[in-house]
Structure 1
């Protein structure tokens, strides 16, 4: 059993603020996370936290290595340290995913904020940004409310998909400029798998997003690193201070990746199906059509093309929607419908990247052309008639050839599953919600009745609701219910698919934020043209934790040459379907935007009619891709980003063992404190690390069975009382907080404690050497406030002979169980000796802290020195450039063939010489200004370095070891 001294010490240790570089700093956040963590993720989180003076870092791990998890660990740590002004800024399509991940994996409250939810909060008299939760915003909305964001001192802002802001230093990049300004005073954590896509200047852009004082201006950066003979080694050294990157091939020691195996499933449409395709294609290529709004025309055409390739029923429904819109235009004389493309995306649950494009257009108010004021009623009526005919033709087709091919595709896939021993489960992706419902009906009528689950953005079908309600009943009182329908219904549907279903038919809503490692068959019923989206789909199953090879089946329309070439391009150029790793970020990064790439392919579909035209256009696109991909794999990029940490394997191995030790010690101590504090109130099951508490200590704490946090989650137990639930027991749970607070407040008068090392399950050499000895010790809590608050628990101890004990020996002493403490007194001479030891220990700790902070100060000072050098260099380069121009002009003057030319050149030389004199005078002023600014920044850092300390004695005792 432990004593009240153990409990008090453990409670303070479990919640103390560690120094920035201490792996123990992450103990609480790692303990509270419901996710399997890999060492590179812990390394990345520590990198993000390491310097208290840093304005942020860039985490640039390759695709699929868990940057969201790394950011989640950091956010969790900030939350546990009561620094809760936290922000996540991401593309609109990822907002919900972020909120889900934070709540599910880290038990962190999150709220997605947009114009509507902000209005709702204001109606309730609440400040939208003043939440007791992590605030999640889209880029566009964050830019829109940049003034409000600027007014708040945020503790941390996570910026996901940060490469989208790589040109934020340019004045033309309005959103990037707005976010830079709004976030310039807070710490930032940038996430991207593709930090360098086409130019080294993109690294400059990302650096300035973090901190304006990392590099000088863009001209200095260009002259030092981008021009011929650039100092790439110097750039790599400067990047290493704020950019960290791990590649997939560096972590295979910890993460086992299975293979991908691709199967193409060809089908040949009937003549009616082909006639429908040609007729709709012809309609989409009309230069002036009322059916397609002029605003966002290309985006609307792209969506319609996706639906055309999906199913005849999806086409029919969309054609009817277009017809209704034209009838409204005819009857109400509406000029245009700016929300038409957005409503198509919402109705069909099409990929969110397209929604981002629309929001960006709205933000920039690029309304494009407007339709003529006078409506040509003859043309309008003719389009209404044609749409009706096309919709009727589409509906008359019934079950199309592609649908019938799905049954044989499933047979082929399930045969592969049987060979590998994988479960008989299939994940089918479609780009249309109409197709999704249609496929469900078809499959259930053809051998899969009761085995098909649907997953979409809304998940509001009667079947989904029934699964959700059943899941709620089954998990009542388990602590697994988040309370958000969006979060809980996603969990319910995935678990139903895992435990009961055979087929999950999903829209793009399942391409992100859903982990389905238990399934190893992915069927692209509709194949996106965006390779990033395809990679995300396959990544739902082919990811860490997958035990079997993943089979990927793609459908191919044999009567469509463009479809064939798209599949070839995605297969050969992007390596999406085969191999261990799938598409690498070098290849995916060769396209600036998946939507831009889709628009390129759309142009081919829209403009090329013959097989020869299609072939020529795709060859040109493929040649461009070859060039881009080759450029992405250049030696420059590899030198800069792929070799940051040559000793990565060794460091990760060390980090893994350190972290496991920390977590193990953390769990044991939390469990021991809980057993001690609730010994009279709870019944403990040590084997399963669980306890039952029928009468909790306060009304805010529910009665029930509590399990120490585990990745598998607690098993429900039958109980007659409906209020008696099963809960994950975390430090952040109200009961956990109660236990810790009560333990910290324990009354611990001086007593004799007999530590029993003989019964300790493992060897403790340091303590065993004390067997038969006795002495005294005191525990002091020391807090140091400098750049950040650091807390230490310092033991001061002596044995009966007056010899001092080391800190580590005392810590290990408290790993031993002890007999009940017996009241005693400590001789005055020993009290004086312990006070002196305590003071010495505190001074040494303060000195070490100062040394560590001095190191941070010197790193920050060096960064500012280099920044100043960059700016001076830029001024000197401008002077050198002018001198060079004068030399060239003088050479031209000597070669002039007539007086007019000579006179013109002499005038140019005079202007350049005047500019040179001005630059010579200005360079000293510029240098003085830069140095003055640098010194002011350094002075402010020096002021913050001043330490404030406070200490208090937690307890003193007499010890003996048996």
Structure 2
């Protein structure tokens, strides 16, 4: 055994960027160079196998993880090179860091490369492009093997498509011809996987709709039967139906069909903690089967995994902890609910979930793509790691970036949708509209109190100062960007109530308006109401009013223990006296509250997907009444402006999953464009038509700020035992927690002297230095490009069309600024 250590006389290769492809390399050359660079850094232990029996075979051991990989290397361009790691199998590069480490080891130790043909003949799986079975004929019995292979393989050794069903016949004849004939594990797995697919397809062909109706103790809609058939045939599938269309019953139906066909003997359901008992209840309701919830301490959970119950349910957190100790979990059939929570590929829970082994799987998500195309790729890895191709290639084919490398849009979305057809099924409510009751959305504009307006406008003034500062200096410090996020979040909070920001005061109108709506609902019949707010303190105010009215309600927020959440739902569904369900966005996913027919949104989230998650709590299969959605919006505020935002995220979703636009582009990614958008977002909206030409994409603006800012938590109140950040609460994506509350921090945060009325805040001397450096470095970059230099000249040099005179036209804030600048220049030139 020899360590892959660098020798002193090795030449140090130039470093390759992980983020930007060098101009002198192709995409594949760049990716191979990155793997070679990684191999240089990592400390692998490498040894060569018996060169007589296994020429060209090596083992590579990671000294940190202790994982061992089998590597075959027979020359730089050999089609027989191989590594057992997943990167080799999915990258389509014919290389990986382990194989590159072997190359380095051979070079440094002056070992001979075995590049000839072995004596034995073998079947192997090629990972270049789409996976395919190939035949390598050895030197023994060469002519006989070529004659035997002709009906099954092309002259270059690739298996013919129709030969899959008869390949076992070839393998038997090959063994009779020469008992040294061999095949590898991945070949056999590929054959079994393919033959199983055709077997399920034939079973499904013989399975009637009448038999599907007998699967469950509930009637299925036609599209739900279609979903069960799709998942059964695919083997591993994503059901991405829009929220409220009954993904749960389709997953259970697929499991029952697999069970009836004797394909599975166990099912493991992994879901959020709050949904464990909802799954249990629905399985018992639909099937009558026994169900066990895997919970308790580790030893108790370990025992429950081996239970004879057909259905086992475990939370994501418990599963992640168990994987650490058990290394892996195995089940015949895996169901993963709300899988969009695993969109971040690098989280511990996501890593753990990839260690669950299963023959079949159904992954459920109403929003597999909430914000970024990369999230869909991550979710797809739980179903088919080969479907969308290598990640680097996927990004290259779909992501549009600016010159600076920032994402400005997406392309080829319909092509992505086409690739997903065999593994992902999605239906929208509009597709099954005839099977659902009517939905009516209403926007109720609510005036603010004088106190609310003053605070809102003061924050708006603070934002205006930052916009002015950017316009003047073309620079915002990290602290300024944090303040910008804070002020916009606080503008939204005060639209609900001053109580969210300062618990010593309470000025609002939305609470009274909500109570008026509730009184009308209570007076008109027995309808139930669901109320959502992003802010826990706002829901607290509603709860207090209902207590005063002696109205029974259920109250869900982030501080409610998971074991109590199911009781809240059960009480609301089963108790006719429980008329109201109050919830933060902690309950915006997974809950079935279709017993209600009215939903009140006290505020609107930035992300339209979150809004639809709220609505889907009542607008779903099982709803018997027409439903009403009431959105309370503070008039003349940032909330009203949000109504006319350009829905970039929804357009991206539709382009892939709903066959919408093939390309979706963001606005310019430059910060000045962001600041222009913020200016529009925070200016007075009175007199402007909803959805006008100057409408801002709030989601778009927020994503760009997120990318340019590292938002840290400021002083937070502790609510229900959890620290909650006002900055995080105001914006979605990576900054948005499960729920949020306000903060008692006063305006003027950040140690600056902030004054309303257009007076600029005092400048930090260090910031002025940074502004100067930023100006000069930006100017230098501009002057390096002839095209950019010409743009600069064209923008400041004006020619009078009548007289032909040329003048220098530079915008300035005011005359006083010009006088000050001239005085300063005069002193410099005069030496005084």
- TM tier relative to shorter chain: 0.3 to 0.5
User: Taking structure 2 as the reference length, what is the TM-score of the superposition?
Assistant: 0.44
The structure showing larger relative contact order (alpha-carbon pairs under 8 Å, at least 6 residues apart) is 1
Larger Rg over CA atoms:
1
Structure with more helix by fraction: 1
